[in-house]
A and B are shown apart, each in its own frame.
Chain A
Amino acid sequence: MAVCVYRTSRVLVQGITGKEGSYHAKACKDYGTKIVAGVTPGKGGQEVDGIPVFNTVEEAVKETHPNVSLIFVPPPFAADAILEAVGSGIKTIVCITEGIPVLDMVKVKRVIEKEGVTLIGPNCPGIITPGATKIGIMPGHIFTRGSIGIMSRSGTLLYETADQITRAGLGQSTCVGIGGDPIVGTDYIFWLKKFEEDPETEAMMIVGEIGGNAEEKAAEFIKSGAIKKPVFAFIAGRTAPPGRRMGHAGAIIMGKSGTAESKYQALREAGVHVIENPGIIGETIAKVLKEKAII
């Protein structure tokens, strides 16, 4: 079992002939992911590392039947690339691109909601089920098959967390980067539900950051009793000055909202195991789960 993507997932790479696209298509393939096709307009008929390239998603779908698309298209054209995948019936889309205009994402979000498409990202490292499939740009070797599900707004922080969990002798069921932009395809609630249903996942880790209220919403959802498995959380940016964008377009404290404190408080009230020291995420999870006799 896995969450959202599987060993059998057939992946299309949009923007496969670019520097990033070709590098990561190969890296994913080496990890064991089934990359069945690539798309770059005007480059149809070529091959990248033995993967056939098509001009349009429609054509690629007809010929190779992918069910997931991984997107590396540059920001001005990325929203169109997402909608092209949606238009060809692909239901799971992972968009790595950073820097898509917010109003483009407003339109994309409206369409994917209507079509029932799962969009991971944009501005994210992708999704990985260790040992099964890697659809994204993360370094595969730091992940180990195990029972913790991780969802993170940041890429490197997802790696840091997974690495600590691995070094604490645990592993991960599935790890997903939900994206660092103000508007992303999925929220924590979506993944909390998925991880709760997944028999392989025994606990979950929310890696949040300042800005917006996705963590508060997740806390509300957990508080309602929908989640029975233990949930852990860390929020980055406690020392960030208000009003400044901390790298990610979505990581900004506006007035009094979006602070690490308000997120911690909401999560704590929901019964989440809050880990305020990012240096002890792995060991804390291991300790708590041992006490609960879950592992």
Chain B
Amino acid sequence: MKLHEYQAKEVLANYGIPVPEGRVTYFPDDAWMVSMELGLPVVLKAQVLTGGRGKAGGVRIARTSDEVREIAQELFGKKLVTKQTGPEGVVIRKLLVEKAADIEREIYFSIVVDRTTSRPTVIASKRGGMSIEEVAEKYPEDIIKIPIDPVTGFLPYQIRRLKYDLGLMAQEKEAAKIFSALYKVFVEKDCSLLELNPLVVTKTGHLLAVDAKMDVDDNALFRRKEIAKMRDLTEADPDELEARFSGLNFIKLQGNIGCMVNGAGLAMTTMDIIKLAGGEPANFLDVGGEATPETIAKGFEIITRDPKVKAIFINIFGGIVRCDKVANGILQALKKVEVKIPVVIRLTGMNREEGMEILKKSGLKFYVANDLKEAAKMVSELANSSEKSVVEAKKVETKQQNEKKEK
């Protein structure tokens, strides 16, 4: 789960980590009032759950009262398109207004769980302000990596080393306190990422967390209720949310073939093989180990809501969930949800024959495939030919209209 910057800063402040004075606002007037309270200049920062805000124009400095009004007016309700959002962008609904810091220099600091070493790892650099990928590419020698033993924690000698490497001798005590507090936050909030970029040294010689990014492990939210409460659902895709409430794992994509699969790995593979067969997947959907009539019906409902979808591919490998049960589930689901587009079904594994027999007897029209390759080819052809027929129907229509006009 991603936290907004203002939420992350609230958490940091509770651990005694210095953050700029500021407040989150919901309306332009609100932003202006806060700026007057804080005193100019201020920084206006779009609170959206995506990276690359600065480069996309979502972080702006305002030096005068008029500037605050102008920028706030412009940013509220604006669609921010960053390299991470895709062309559809994300609407700015909240602005964090902060007192602008007097920056002497910028530092990069983060903690992640390194999958290779299975250890929390501190990554830092005296080159803050730019992305760490960029630093890694241009100045690899300036990146400090400190793996932390989960039993002993972030040790004093490791913190000392970090201070020397980052040139923080003048901030000695302050830096030690902040670094150890950051590790404490990481552990006590079950973070998967805690990133300050930049952590700055101010002109008065103090450390200040000017930006903060915090991702919390979804698997740990059961014991981090204070964090779970912060979840912002306004940016989530409504279909994805609905699926989640029903225990389905759904991710929307751009294509025209709806997929319903059991198991995450097989669901990804289904998308891949559709693409290889010349089709385009419309979604990732893992119905999970249960695949009940209810979950299948919900799957149909969400998939067919997308008008782009021209065919559906159901790919089930019966293991714990048996094929005959899935077949019955499909029939029951189709009583609840009307599906007008072609459905290709591939059932295999436990009780395959029984499942196929149930589908055959139902009298409903399905396209049945024997294996993955055949199914992918079938569904891609169905989707593409229906696209073609739509295009051709349109052509005929315009031709007729043109003829009418000519007459």
Contacts and interface: CB of A to CB of B under 8 A. Distances in A.
A239 B262 CA distance: 18
B249 A247 contact: yes
B402 interface: no
A75 B220 CA distance: 9
A238 B281 CA distance: 12
Nearest to B319: A139
Interface size of A as a range: 35 or more
Given A103-B113, A247-B249, A138 B265 contact: no
A237 B267 CA distance: 9
A245 to B, nearest CB: 8
A110 B118 contact: yes
B264 A244 contact: no
Interface in A228-280: 234, 236-241, 243-244, 246-251, 255-256, 276-280
B395 interface: no
Interface residues of B, number: 53
Given A106-B118, A183-B113, A277 B373 contact: yes
A107 B273 contact: no
A102 B219 contact: yes
B120 to A, nearest CB: 7
A269 B371 CA distance: 30
Nearest to B191: A103
A182 B113 contact: yes
A51 interface: no
A106 B276 contact: no
Contacts of B181: none
B5 interface: no
Contact of A180 (B118, B265, B273): B265
Contacts of A109: 118
B36 interface: no
Contacts of B275: 238-239
A247 B250 CA distance: 8
Nearest to A242: B84
Contacts, number: 164
B262 to A, nearest CB: 6
B217 interface: yes
A209 interface: yes
B265 to A, nearest CB: 2
Contact of A139 (B118, B284, B350): B350
B230 to A, nearest CB: 18
A163 to B, nearest CB: 7
Main secondary structure of the interface of B (DSSP, over half): mixed
A105 B118 contact: yes
Interface stretch (A6-14, A36-44, A60-68, A151-159): A151-159
A163 B401 CA distance: 55
B348 interface: yes
B269 A240 contact: no
Contact of A156 (B271, B319, B374): B319
Interface string B217-244: 1111011000000000000000000000
Contact of A243 (B84, B217, B249, B253): B84
Given A76-B223, A139-B349, A277 B276 contact: yes
B195 interface: no
A138 B275 CA distance: 28
Contacts of B253: 239, 241
Contact of A152 (B262, B265, B281, B320): B265
A141 interface: yes
A100 interface: yes
B263 interface: yes
A71 interface: no
A89 interface: no
11 contacts: A106-B113, A106-B150, A110-B119, A139-B320, A139-B349, A154-B264, A159-B319, A180-B265, A183-B115, A239-B253, A251-B264
Interface of B: 84, 113, 115-116, 118-120, 133, 149-151, 187, 190, 192, 217-220, 222-223, 249, 251, 253, 261-269, 271-276, 281, 284, 286, 317-320, 348-350, 371-374, 376
Given A154-B263, A157-B269, A247-B264, 5 more contacts: A102-B220, A137-B320, A139-B320, A160-B317, A163-B348
Interface of A: 75-76, 99-107, 109-110, 125, 137-139, 141-142, 152-160, 163-164, 180, 182-183, 207, 209-210, 212-214, 217, 234, 236-241, 243-244, 246-251, 255-256, 276-280
